[in-house]
Structure 1
């Protein structure tokens, strides 16, 4: 169905601002999958920008898989509610590397606390589940989506082993962020191999119950993941605005 065109003006200039504001509207439920967006001219009037900025913003959203432009028929929202949030996060990280680094530092502290407890509390059954999660990562190197899912499950499993519901809840609440982070930080064969090696060292340390080794292995993993994330952001094409 077509969406009624809003008369509300929007602040901000340039394609970056327009893209972020459109994402906010989508996440906020102003549009539903399958809805047609207002015409470029109407969007330009509402956002107070030129049509070129609108075209650039829509092109960026199409690259993220959020919208689909159909020749002669307009532009339609195609992302569902469940995948709009991670794509919104990804766009936010692309625009604000300082925030990405802050998030990386916060995640490092959380993950180190988790692995410290896991190394002291892991049972034989816990080790089996963690090793199985690692095995699923090893088996998914040719399938990026499956690899990301297995990586996320590895960290959530580690949080369960830690036996602290607050820490586990904090990590689970950032699942969408983890998916975006891991997807960008493990892109490419070299990054995937480094990620796997870092996870093997974590499993080994938790298995032996060596707290210092576990914390060190997780710190190495977090530092490596952060470096790969920043590199992926640096390699992203700049957005004009």
Structure 2
């Protein structure tokens, strides 16, 4: 048994992790600098010898963490950041254990209820303005019958920012991308469900505006109940 415990688990990188690692290495080495544009998805796909879906998923993940930004006219560019912090962040992105969907959602629920309670107490006028902008951006997408997963999650991230707890925001950034990926695959944020979510956001925003932490927590718990139920169903499938 002692010999067995001396062995280490063999980690096999996914194609997405390999792409992220190479981008990390190029940024840290200085070959990619702030404002530099990445090659197109097609060219990267040909260079790596893998499908464009893997390229797209890696870029989306790095976008979510603020390392890359996609501009409609100019493509994907590198954001400015402290290299040491960026290297550590990208390493964490790759090393995070991939838990089951229910565990991710359950963890998110605990964090979000605490986050919204603190946001209701600690939010500034600037925080409130950012929340209202995020809410309007979601409403605009829904009104135009467009995909709105990013806008939905942005609203929740703005709540985490308004909580003024940096650890909660960091943890949210860890769990949300994988949840978002499953939402996209399962078409969770669509149709009537998205309209219901928008109405619930309005209640949460109103409670934060009124600085009512108990009401904000109750609204958030009700808001997350559907996705919690959905994640339980995923376990039984």
TM-score interval, smaller chain? 0.5 to 0.7
Superposition RMSD in Å: 3.2
CA spacing shift, 1:126–1:182, aligned 2, 3 Å: farther
Aligned position for 2:195: 193
Q: Does the CA-based 8 Å contact 1:185-1:228 persist in structure 2?
A: no
Cα 1:189–1:121 change in 2 (3 A) is same
- Tell me the CA shift for residue 155 of structure 1: 1.1
1:11 corresponds in structure 2 to none
Residue 105 (structure 1) aligns with: 106
Give 1:229 deviation, angstroms: 5.1
Partner in structure 2 of residue 143 of structure 1: 146
Aligned equivalents of 1:181, 1:36: Cα separation in 2: 25
Residue matched to 2:160: 159
Partners in 2 of 1:172 and 1:80 — Cα distance?
A: 16
- Which one of the candidate residues 39, 45, 48 is aligned to 1:33? 45
Pair 196,181 (structure 1): closer, same or farther in 2 beyond 3 Å: farther
Contact 2:138 2:152 in 1 (8 A): yes
Q: CA deviation at 1:182?
A: 4.6
Other structure's SS at 2:45 match: coil
Q: TM-score, normalised by structure 2?
A: 0.59
Per the TM alignment, residue 230 of structure 1 is displaced from its structure 2 partner at its CA by: 5.5
Distance across 2 between alignment mates of 1:185 and 1:201: 24
Structure 2 unmatched ranges of 5 or more: 1-11, 23-43, 65-97
Max Rg structure: 1
Q: CA shift at 1:181, angstroms?
A: 4.7
Runs of 5+ unmatched residues, structure 1 = 1-20, 38-61, 67-76, 87-95
Q: How many residues align?
A: 165
What's the TM-score once normalised by structure 1's chain length?
A: 0.58
Change (3 A) 1:165 1:187: closer
Distance in 2, Cα, partners of 1:154 & 1:84: 18
Q: 1:7-39 deviations in whole A, cap 9, x for unaligned? A: xxxxxxxxxxxxxx8xx54134289622446xx
Q: Is the 8 A contact 1:201 1:217 kept in 2?
A: yes
Indicate conservation of the 8 Å contact 2:204/2:216, yes or no: yes
Q: Which runs of 4+ in 1 moved over 4 A?
A: 228-231
